[in-house]
Amino acid sequence: MGKVLMKGNEAIGEAAIKAGCFNYFAYPITPQSEVAEYLSRRMPEVGGVFLQGESEVAVGYMLFGAAGCGARVFTTSSSPGISLMSEALSYISSAQLPAVFVNIVRGGPGLGGILPSQADYFQATKGGGHGDYRLLVLAPDGVQEAVEMVMMAFPLAEKYRNPVMILGDGLIGQMMEPVEFPDHLISEPSNKDDWATSGMDTRNRKDRNLVKSLFLNAELLEEHNRFLKAKYDRMKQEEIRYESYNTDGDYKVLIVSYGIISRVCRTAIDMFKTEGLEVGMIRPQTLFPFPENAIKEAVSKSGCKAAISIELSMGQMVEDVERSVQGVCPVHWYGKAGGDVPTPEEIMGVVKPLSK
Amino acid sequence: MAKTFKKTAALSDQHTHYCPGCTHGVIHRLVAEVIDELDVRGRAVGIAPVGCAVLAYNYFTFDFQEAAHGRAPAVATGIKRVRPDLIVFTYQGDGDLASIGMGEIIHSANRGEKFTSIFVNNTVYGMTGGQMAPTTLSDQRTTTSPSGRDVADVGMPIKVAELISALETPAYIARQSAIKPKYIVRAKKAIKKAFQYQLENRCFSLVEIVSTCPTNWGMTPIEAVKWTEESMHAYYPLGEIKTPE
Ligand SMILES: Cc1ncc(C[n+]2csc(CCOP(=O)(O)OP(=O)(O)O)c2C)c(N)n1
């Protein structure tokens, strides 16, 4: 299949269908409502399920039920909606169900705004809901990567029996870019007969399946949490993804940036080059697990004087960057959270003094 | 000698954790018998609530999911939409269905989701120690209405079956009781009808079952039965409230 020009939100909807996900539940919210509008047309065409739920709370549990009986299922929302789905994310994680959640992040807190933001970084990577659970968080930098990540998300969710979150932003959802849909699907061997409540008649084994999250016995809950932790540790071993830019040679400053703003940082790095200043960048593509070692290695290179986390928030990822750098060099932060994306010149203005 | 009566296959051998005089066990059995009589155990999925019946799955022998507090109808919607061939029911208390989960039940009923809700109305939050519920009767004492429910302050008890029956979408809605054999027989008939409507893919169905909570009411089981018949049956009339015809 060749390239087509598509709006991010519509491309995300199409990517799910291409990934073999024919079940979608959602509640409208700007700036992602086009996904629901698109899929309300497309799902019936492919014999799939489209349902507009009565709230994000309900939608979260529709995913719980659908995933619990073994179906591939996903939803899309934006920040305030994801807050309401956070209860379900905690239950889905504990019940170990595969499901995909896309957050087209908008400005916060509260109603905030409808412009692009990355202020849900903590919510996505550190919880949001209650208890010791983690989401596998993928962060695309444009429409093409959003498509690829949506298609990756389903097999990942199934591999780990864990929800996967795509953390995009309002710009990725709203902009049009040429995209190419990958035509070979990665898939995991299904283990659904072991756990899904798909009806006893549909399985070869005669025992019933139970989807639950209650462990009243302290020992059993301890064991359950240790099991989950082992799974999150395995993600750290096997799923870290990042991209390095201009890090082959020496550089004075390392930028850590993800999503849409990393593209602006890339332009700033190219412009610095023409001035004779070398700046490198690590762009995490997974926010959990976080590329800690790659960042530590990158700042350990001789000549690197500082690291800076550049993000569309008031300083969230910077805490993970500090944790990764482990004091090797000073860690700075620059960001905006009102909905404006900084220009390359603005970024050059904050990065330049750090090279001295 | 031939066995003339035995425990139905959909019910497990476990003893229940319910208090003496509680009707959850009776209602579980009615549901299990109906599932077996309709021969759908192999494609049944129950949704347990948060409340005294959170462990209901221990007493059944088919697939079950455990929902968050009040969300069982959304879970059931998710299942039924992606697997219309499954026979799905929620089993919920009055705090679960009529308070925190009111949004989910109303919208599921209004969409005409093809699942069945078994709604156990015992007028209190049993599991958390007998606090006031949306269905607590006027002047009824609970641990959070120590002087009795003041309807001027917190409103009248909600008649869930009537409320849902007011929706224009076709549905089967009935209220029965689980306190005496004559009521239990009718309750089973209603539950069976509800599941039959689901099997025929006709409509949403809900059976409200007036129940007891002697422990939190501070009564003996016998007193609880008497109080239920006198006070609850008076406010919560029994019978079919809505049929899809
Ligand atoms: C979100 C949330 N809020 C509160 C609770 C605490 N809680 C557990 S059971 C329950 C009330 C259950 O009462 P009801 O639905 O009437 O069922 P019963 O126990 O009487 O059978 C509450 C409030 C919870 N588990 N989750």
What pLDDT, in 10s, does the model give residues A143-192?
999 999 999 999 999 999 999 999 999 999 999 999 999 887 777 778 89
Alpha helices by DSSP H, listed for chain B, are 24-37, 72-82, 94-95, 102-111, 151-154, 160-165, 181-199, 214-217, 221-227, 233-235
In this prediction, residues A63-80 reach a mean pLDDT of 98
Predicted interface score ipTM higher than 0.90? yes
pLDDT at B245 over 90: no
A chain contacts of residue B198, beta-carbon cutoff 8 Å: none
Q: How far apart are the first and last CA of chain A?
A: 49
Q: Which CATH homologous superfamily contains domain A4-186+230-236?
A: Thiamin diphosphate (ThDP)-binding fold, Pyr/PP domains (3.40.50.970)
Alpha-carbon gap, residue A93 to A91, rounded angstroms: 5
CA A23–ligand 1 middle distance (angstroms)? 30
Using one digit for the tens of pLDDT, what is the confidence trace for B41-81? 999 999 999 999 999 999 999 999 999 999 999 999 999 99
Q: Which residues contact B143 (CB under 8 A, 6 or more apart)?
A: B129, B130, B131, B132, B216
User: What per-residue confidence (pLDDT) applies to B211?
Assistant: 98
Closest CB to A61: pick one of B64, B71, B81: B71
Using one digit for the tens of pLDDT, what is the confidence trace for B164-218? 999 999 999 999 999 999 999 999 999 999 999 999 999 999 999 999 999 999 9
Q: Which residues contact A16 (CB under 8 A, 6 or more apart)?
A: A24, A39, A74, A100, A150, A154
A chain contacts of residue B53, beta-carbon cutoff 8 Å: none
Cβ–Cβ < 8 Å for B101, B70 = yes
Using the structure block, give the residue that is written with the tokens 């550190």: A126
CA A12–ligand 1 middle distance (angstroms)? 38
pTM for this structure? 0.97
Cβ–Cβ < 8 Å for B211, B27 = yes
A180–chain B nearest CA distance, Å: 29
User: What per-residue confidence (pLDDT) applies to A78?
Assistant: 98
Using one digit for the tens of pLDDT, what is the confidence trace for A79-89? 999 999 999 99
Closest CB to B107: pick one of A23, A49, A54: A54
Pocket around ligand 1 at a 6 A CB cut-off: B 50-53, 69, 93-96, 122, 124-128, 133
- Tokens representing residue A21 in the block: 């996900």
Closest CB to B57: pick one of A61, A62, A210: A210
Arithmetic mean of pLDDT over chain B? 97
Arithmetic mean of pLDDT over chain A? 96
The reply to whether residue B66 touches residue A208, judged by beta carbons under 8 angstroms, is no
Using one digit for the tens of pLDDT, what is the confidence trace for A199-253? 999 998 889 999 999 999 999 999 999 999 999 999 999 999 999 999 999 999 9
User: What per-residue confidence (pLDDT) applies to A326?
Assistant: 97
List the residue whose alpha carbon is closest to atom 1 of ligand 1.
B69
In this prediction, residues B150-156 reach a mean pLDDT of 98
User: What per-residue confidence (pLDDT) applies to A320?
Assistant: 98
CA A214–ligand 1 middle distance (angstroms)? 13
Mutate which of B96, B97, B215 for ligand 1? The one with the most ligand atoms within 8 Å of its CB, which is: B96
Cβ–Cβ < 8 Å for A143, A11 = yes
A49: confidence class by pLDDT, cuts 50, 70, 90 = very high
CA A218–ligand 1 middle distance (angstroms)? 21
Cβ–Cβ < 8 Å for B186, B238 = yes
Alpha-carbon gap, residue A184 to A20, rounded angstroms: 11
Q: How many helices (H) and strands (E) does chain A have?
A: 12, 15
- At B105 the three-state DSSP class reads helix
Cβ–Cβ < 8 Å for B124, B213 = yes
User: What per-residue confidence (pLDDT) applies to B102?
Assistant: 98
The reply to whether residue A211 touches residue B64, judged by beta carbons under 8 angstroms, is yes
Cβ–Cβ < 8 Å for A324, A290 = yes
Short-list B14, B30, B9, CA closest to B211:
B30
pLDDT at B1 over 80: no
Find, in chain A, the residue whose alpha carbon is nearest to that of B60: A208
Find, in chain A, the residue whose alpha carbon is nearest to that of B62: A208
CA B31–ligand 1 middle distance (angstroms)? 22
A chain contacts of residue B83, beta-carbon cutoff 8 Å: 69, 71, 198-199
In this prediction, residues A37-57 reach a mean pLDDT of 98
The reply to whether residue A200 touches residue B86, judged by beta carbons under 8 angstroms, is no
pLDDT at A327 over 70: yes
Q: Do domains A4-186+230-236 and A242-355 have the same CATH topology?
A: yes
A chain contacts of residue B64, beta-carbon cutoff 8 Å: 197, 208, 210-212
- Residue B128: Cβ-neighbour burial (10 angstroms; 0-12, 13-18, 19+): middle
The reply to whether residue A212 touches residue B79, judged by beta carbons under 8 angstroms, is no
- CB burial of A146-164 (b: ≥16 within 10 Å; e: otherwise) equals bbbbbbbbbbbbbbbbbbb
| Domains in chain B with CATH codes | 24-242 (3.40.50.970)
Answer whether the bond into residue A289 is a cis peptide, omega within 30°.
yes
B chain contacts of residue A212, beta-carbon cutoff 8 Å: 48, 57, 64-66
Query: Nearest-5° angle of CA B126, CA B132, CA B135?
Result: 90
Read off the amino acid at residue A11.
A
Q: Where are the domains of chain A?
A: 4-186+230-236, 242-355
pLDDT at A283 over 90: yes
Short-list A190, A214, A215, A216, CA closest to A203:
A190
Alpha-carbon distances, residue B151 vs B154, B156, B161, B232 (angstroms): 5, 5, 20, 16
User: What per-residue confidence (pLDDT) applies to A1?
Assistant: 66
CATH of domain A242-355: 3.40.50.920
Q: Which atom of ligand 1 approaches the CA of B50 most closely? A: 9
User: What per-residue confidence (pLDDT) applies to A185?
Assistant: 76
Q: How many helices (H) and strands (E) does chain B have?
A: 10, 9
Cβ–Cβ < 8 Å for A196, A70 = yes
The reply to whether residue B71 touches residue A198, judged by beta carbons under 8 angstroms, is no
Cβ–Cβ < 8 Å for B225, B212 = yes
Find, in chain B, the residue whose alpha carbon is nearest to that of A210: B64
The reply to whether residue B54 touches residue A73, judged by beta carbons under 8 angstroms, is no
Edge to edge, the sheet with strand A210-211 lists A210-211, B63-66, B44-48, B87-93, B116-121, B204-210, B171-177, B239-242
The reply to whether residue B74 touches residue A66, judged by beta carbons under 8 angstroms, is no
Cβ–Cβ < 8 Å for B56, B47 = no
**In DSSP terms, which residues pair with A77 in a beta bridge?**
A103
CA B127–ligand 1 middle distance (angstroms)? 6
pLDDT at B151 over 90: yes
List the residue whose alpha carbon is closest to atom 6 of ligand 1.
B128
pLDDT at B100 over 70: yes
